[in-house]
């Protein structure tokens, strides 16, 4: 029986991913900061899908907690076929108002937390016939909005982490996918607030943040999906080793525009390089300068 591990698996998108894995007959580990919810949801999903589901307390911001989760999975199953690093906390604000403490919290949970999960579970993924590692980012890095700067920076970093891992794990046959969900009706703001360390404790969003976000990117408020709808087809895409999985929303125009602007920049650099090369070749044919 294949085994899936989902961090942030007690709620929202992570829970929906876990449930999709269970529906495919996989045993599932829901690893989450919220132990009670993870345990309750595990019991429910196990009953519905007749597979083994374990709810486990895990804090991705704590190296020893992540290592303990990997050890528990090793003891129970000996392998992980799919690891979905899905935890991400949110904090709104303009870039100039973010304190160092706020940056450190967000980057520690979202970025280093993803790296901790990958590091701890890679030995178990290597034991699977075709291990799969997936990272939940956000469509807002394909089509950014204001007031989400720290969050978007963290999700860009997770994307960078995934791109590097894909290269580093190619010889191991472990596929790495980046998942880009658009807006979902979840408990994200509530759980992000609950997850804040005691020295932060500020509202996740201030008055005016949502308005400024939507004013900068009106598409943000459109096409909000349920986590269950967003998760549909994602596990199949990850198992098929698709590098990028966009769950919902219409991002075609923004992705195309960014790609074409980037392509133009790359073409300008390539043209300048070839002109410099031709110039050097022409100078060398003229012989030594006097």
Residues near ligand NAD, by CB under 6 A: 7-8, 10-14, 32-34, 58-61, 86-89, 109, 136, 138, 181, 183-184, 186-188, 191, 195, 227
Q: How far, in whole angstroms, is CA 13 from its chain's centroid?
A: 11
Q: What is the CA radius of gyration of the chain?
A: 22
Least CB distance from residue 86 to ligand NAD, whole Å? 5
Beta-carbon count within 10 A of 150 CB: 21
- Report phi then psi at 177, rounded to 5: -120, 145
Mapped onto helix, strand or coil, the DSSP state of residue 148 is strand
Nearest to 222 by CA among 248, 191, 252: 248
Q: For ligand NAD, give the closer residue by CB, 23 or 130.
A: 23
Q: How far is 33 from 29, CA to CA, in rounded Å? A: 13
In whole angstroms, give the CA distance from residue 69 to residue 133: 16
Catalytic residue annotation: 139, 151, 155
* In contact, 173 and 130? CB cutoff 8 Å: yes
Q: How near is the Cβ of 93 to ligand NAD at its closest, in Å?
A: 16
Give phi and psi for 205, each to the nearest 5.
-140, 145
The nearer residue to ligand NAD, 93 or 183, going by C-beta atoms, is: 183
Q: How far is the CB of 136 from ligand NAD (least distance, A)?
A: 4
Please state the closest distance from residue 258 (CB atom) to ligand NAD, in A.
18
Between 90 and 175, whose beta carbon lies closer to ligand NAD? Answer: 90
- N-terminal to C-terminal alpha carbon distance within the chain: 77
Nearer to ligand NAD, 2 or 148 (CB): 148
């Amino acid at each position: 029986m294949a085994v899936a591990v989902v961090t942030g698996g007690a709620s929202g998108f992570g829970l929906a991913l876990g449930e999709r894995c269970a529906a495919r007959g996989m045993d599932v580990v829901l690893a989450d900061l919220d132990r009670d919810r993870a345990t309750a949801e595990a019991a429910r999903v196990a009953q519905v899908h007749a597979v083994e589901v374990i709810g486990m307390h895990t804090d991705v911001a704590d190296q020893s907690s992540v290592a303990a989760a990997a050890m528990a999975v090793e003891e129970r199953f000996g392998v992980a076929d799919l690891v979905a690093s899905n935890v991400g906390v949110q904090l709104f604000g303009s870039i100039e108002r973010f304190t160092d403490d706020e940056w450190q919290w967000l980057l520690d949970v979202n970025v280093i937390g993803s790296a901790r999960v990958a590091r701890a579970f890679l030995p178990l993924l290597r034991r699977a016939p075709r291990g799969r590692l997936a990272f939940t980012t956000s469509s807002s890095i394909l089509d950014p909005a204001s007031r989400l700067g720290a969050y978007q920076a963290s999700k860009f970093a997770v994307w960078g982490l995934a791109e590097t891992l894909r290269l580093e794990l190619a010889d191991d046959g472990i596929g790495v996918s980046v998942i880009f969900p658009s807006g979902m009706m979840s408990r994200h703001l509530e759980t992000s607030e609950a997850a804040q360390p005691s020295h932060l404790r500020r509202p996740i969003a201030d008055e005016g943040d949502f308005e400024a976000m939507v004013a900068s990117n009106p598409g943000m408020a459109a096409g909000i999906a349920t986590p269950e709808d967003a998760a549909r087809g994602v596990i199949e895409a990850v198992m098929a080793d698709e590098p990028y999985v966009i769950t919902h929303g219409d991002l075609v125009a923004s992705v195309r525009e960014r790609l074409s602007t980037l392509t133009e920049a790359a073409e300008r650099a390539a043209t300048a390089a070839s002109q410099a090369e031709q110039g050097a070749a022409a100078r060398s044919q003229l012989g030594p300068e006097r």
